[in-house]
Structure 1
Amino acid sequence: MEVTASKKSLLKKIILIVLGFGPGIFAIGYTIGTGSVTSMLVAGSTYGMQLLWVLFLSCLFSGILIFAYGNYALITGETALYSFKKHIKGGKILAIFIIIGVSIGQWGSLMGILTISSNMLFEIFAMNFEGVRSYQYETVLIIAIAVIAIFYSIMLVGKYSFFEKILVIFVTFMGLSFIISLFFVHPLPSEALEGFIPRIPQVPGGKMMVAAFVGTTMAAATFLSRPLFVKGKEWGIKDLKKQRKDAITAAILVFIISGAIMAVASGALFHQGNPVESVLDMAKPLEPIAGSFAVAIFFFGTLSAGLSSIFPCLLIAPLMIADYQSGKLDTTSKQFKIITAIACLVALIGPAFFGGKPILVQILSQVFNVFVLPVVVLGIILLLNNKKLMKGYKTSLFVNIGLYTALLFSCIISYNGILGLLEGF
């Protein structure tokens, strides 16, 4: 009985540690979703560790941007888009462009997330009921409608915060499963070191994959929502150090978990020449550690990651519009219900028209996320260097260098994404 009680106590402590993170845990839950898992697995299985440098730079700049947006909110008490409109010349046009661009990117991600999740649930059903394989399209579409309807219903009754905490735990278990499997299946250390050398794979799809990497790891929506999460935590100027630590922790954990996923895929699939092309292929990296349970364990983790991403993707458009209007989000308003309903209908486009190619849908959606990124970086640079607005708080040279470098990096990646799309289509 004492041993059982001890185990329960340990589990409770672990859960409390996970839930004890600051707003950074929302950034992790947002970033480590189906899009991130898909991009890392496809990249690792196709290119080995060649794109580790892209992941490192994306996480580095993400940490700086999370910190910058969080600090701005603590010092001024204002949110991102509302400030763009209020304090930047031409800020209204800038903010509207960001709302449209981020919404398109996130709704595209939502299509991919729902498509992959529905296909995974279909595969689970098909393992037990072979007869449904003859009706794959219809079954996947019915599953997708049921999933999105459930999530929409939960959002309407205001269960977002509670449900997201549960999903954060699922995502944590998913990340741990890949980190543990890394001890059993991993690339050569020399390959990991070579991965830090900047280079773009000179093969079809290489440029597009680089853009997808940045789109899923350095997501504009994560930074724009940071002020609202910080305000929701009721942090103030006295919590500047806490905010900095939270941003650094988020960036490091995103790099570790995402890097582990890519490394496992590289070690298990790259040298065997088995790139991830379908939903079932995505379960292969866990096979060496999980054996016959590989599919079930992977599906559980990836579904958890996907579910944790559906809420933010549904929430992002009404959140940004409310931010632009007043800097506050009302989940009970008619506007909120209508916009999230539209997002749900857009999400169904994925399984309805691209049900057979969920991996491609997800990769493409991540590519589109990078095109609004330079504007989001430029906006926070202008705000943080407004002396009157910052009330005497001076942005450090290191942060400014990081932000300007992030701006240059985002412009290069956006251009690279355009080239990738032109080559691919």
Structure 2
Amino acid sequence: MEATTPKKSFFKKIIAIILGFGPGIFAIGYTIGTGSVTSMIVAGSKFNMQLLWVLLISCIFSGILMFAYGNYALLTGETALFGFKKHFKFGKVLAIAIIIGITFGQWNSLMGILGISSNIIFEILAVNFEGLSAYKYETVLITAIVIIVIFYLLMLVGKYTFFEKILVIFVTLMGMSFVLSLCFVQPLTIDVVKGLLPTIPDVPGGQMLVAAFVGTTMASATFLSRPLFVKGKGWTIKNLGQQKRDSITAAVLIFIISGVIMAVAAGALYYQGKEVTQVLDMANTLEPVAGKWAVTIFFFGALSAGLSSIFPCLLIAPLLIADYQSGELDTNSKQFRIITFIACLVALIGPAFGANPIEIQILSQVFNVFVLPIVILGIILMLSNKKVMKDYKTSLGVYIGLYAALFFSLVISYNGVIALLDYF
């Protein structure tokens, strides 16, 4: 009995640490979904580790923005859009524009997420049931409907803590799956080092992937929703230190998990000269190295990433609207149910039309960058407002980081416009 007690207590401590993760888990849920997974895999398969520097810079800026928005909420008791509306002269127009822009990007992303998740489940089933291949469209569509109905029903009964714990489970499974995949294939160390040097691939699609990287890693929804999640956690001004650590932890985990996904794709695909165009391409080249298990492990990680993103994407529109109205989210309200139901219908558009979910996902991430400069400028103005912040003074280092993030977002937005003009 004495020998087993320490093991149990240690195991319980590990579980407690995982389940004790704060609002940063939503940041990971928003950021590392199938959009991020797709972008990282496509980039790794096409350009090796060349875009690792974009990921690193995006994660640094993401950490700063999460910290800034979280501190604003704890110090003022207000949420972001409600604060914009209250304190800015044209705050109402700005807030509405942000809601429309972010909702458009996230709902487009939701189409790709549901499409890829449904395709992953189909591919796993097709491995075991060969006759199912002739009914791909029907199977994918039915799977998509089942997934979105289950998530909608969970949305109706869930609270903040419920959503948080489900996300912790999915994110943990996702991280473990991709780390396990990395054990089978790795990129060359020199390629990882070179990837930290800023360069943009001078090939078709290079600029779009850079924009997609930033769109998925520096997601505006992550920062704007943070005040609501911080309040939902029950944190107050006494939790400023905890809020800071949570922001840093979230940014570090986003970089590690995303970097691992890119490394797996580089090791498995780039060196063989193969690119990703369909969902099955994301795992098939692992098969010669690790057999059928590689497909299962890799798809399980991608599926966990997709499912971890559905909750945040369904939540974003009611979150932003509730933020604008009063700064409080009521998951039992009629408004919440109607908006999330509309989001579920939008999510089914991609699978219903049989669209390529990978293309949808990449494009949706590019659209996300255009609202980012406004979101960054908004928090800079709020933190600079003495009437709002009263006696609290933001450090020079945070301001430097925010202005650097603003400049970076403007450059990437311009890059995104050029990429979309070339695409269309």
TM-score range, shorter chain: over 0.9
The SS at the match of 2:388 is coil
TM superposition score normalised by structure 2: 0.95
Contact 1:290 1:297 (8 Å CA) reproduced: no
Counterpart CA distance in 2 for 1:361 and 1:194 is: 30
Cα drift, residue 9 of structure 1: 4.8
Give the alignment's Cα RMSD to 1 decimal. 1.8
Aligned to 1:338: 338
Residues 254-311 of structure 1 deviation map (CA, whole Å, 9 limit, x = unaligned): 1111111111211221121111221111124754775321121222221111111101
Counterpart CA distance in 1 for 2:317 and 2:233 is: 21
Contact 2:174 2:305 (8 Å CA) reproduced: yes
Q: Evaluate the alpha carbon distance shift between residue 80 and residue 288 of structure 1 in structure 2; reply closer, same or farther with a 3 A threshold.
A: farther
Cα drift, residue 53 of structure 1: 0.8
Cα drift, residue 128 of structure 1: 2.6
* Matched length: 424
Aligned to 2:20: 20
The equivalences for 1:1-400 within 5 A come to 9-158=9-158, 161-284=161-284, 287=287, 290-355=290-355, 357-400=356-399
Letter in 2 for 1:45: S
Q: Do structure 1's residue 402 and structure 2's residue 409 form an aligned pair?
A: no
The SS at the match of 1:182 is helix
Moved over 3 A (4+): 1-12, 180-184, 284-291
Counterpart CA distance in 2 for 1:197 and 1:376 is: 27
Counterpart CA distance in 1 for 2:342 and 2:110 is: 12
The farther-off stretch of 21-30 and 205-214 is 21-30
Q: Evaluate the alpha carbon distance shift between residue 412 and residue 152 of structure 1 in structure 2; reply closer, same or farther with a 3 A threshold.
A: same
Contact 2:23 2:246 (8 Å CA) reproduced: yes
Give the % identical residues. 73
Residues 332-370 of structure 1 deviation map (CA, whole Å, 9 limit, x = unaligned): 111111111110111011111244x11111111111111
The SS at the match of 2:272 is coil
Q: Evaluate the alpha carbon distance shift between residue 9 and residue 124 of structure 1 in structure 2; reply closer, same or farther with a 3 A threshold.
A: farther
Aligned to 1:422: 421
Counterpart CA distance in 2 for 1:387 and 1:284 is: 56
Letter in 2 for 1:153: L
Contact 1:55 1:213 (8 Å CA) reproduced: yes
Letter in 1 for 2:120: M
Contact 1:154 1:160 (8 Å CA) reproduced: no
Contact 1:220 1:373 (8 Å CA) reproduced: yes
Contact 1:265 1:285 (8 Å CA) reproduced: no
Counterpart CA distance in 2 for 1:2 and 1:41 is: 47
The SS at the match of 2:386 is coil
Residues 18-77 of structure 1 deviation map (CA, whole Å, 9 limit, x = unaligned): 111221122112212111111111101110011011001100100000000000001101
Q: Evaluate the alpha carbon distance shift between residue 289 and residue 176 of structure 1 in structure 2; reply closer, same or farther with a 3 A threshold.
A: farther
Q: Evaluate the alpha carbon distance shift between residue 405 and residue 351 of structure 1 in structure 2; reply closer, same or farther with a 3 A threshold.
A: same
Counterpart CA distance in 2 for 1:207 and 1:126 is: 35
Letter in 2 for 1:274: K
TM superposition score normalised by structure 1: 0.95
Counterpart CA distance in 2 for 1:181 and 1:300 is: 10
Residues 111-165 of structure 1 deviation map (CA, whole Å, 9 limit, x = unaligned): 0000001111111222232222222112211111111111111111226632541
The farther-off stretch of 302-311 and 75-84 is 302-311
Contact 2:283 2:299 (8 Å CA) reproduced: yes
Residues 59-100 of structure 1 deviation map (CA, whole Å, 9 limit, x = unaligned): 010000000000000110100000000011211111000000
Contact 1:377 1:407 (8 Å CA) reproduced: yes
Q: Evaluate the alpha carbon distance shift between residue 284 and residue 26 of structure 1 in structure 2; reply closer, same or farther with a 3 A threshold.
A: same
Counterpart CA distance in 2 for 1:404 and 1:268 is: 38
The SS at the match of 1:66 is helix
Query: What are structure 1's unaligned runs of at least 5 residues?
Result: none
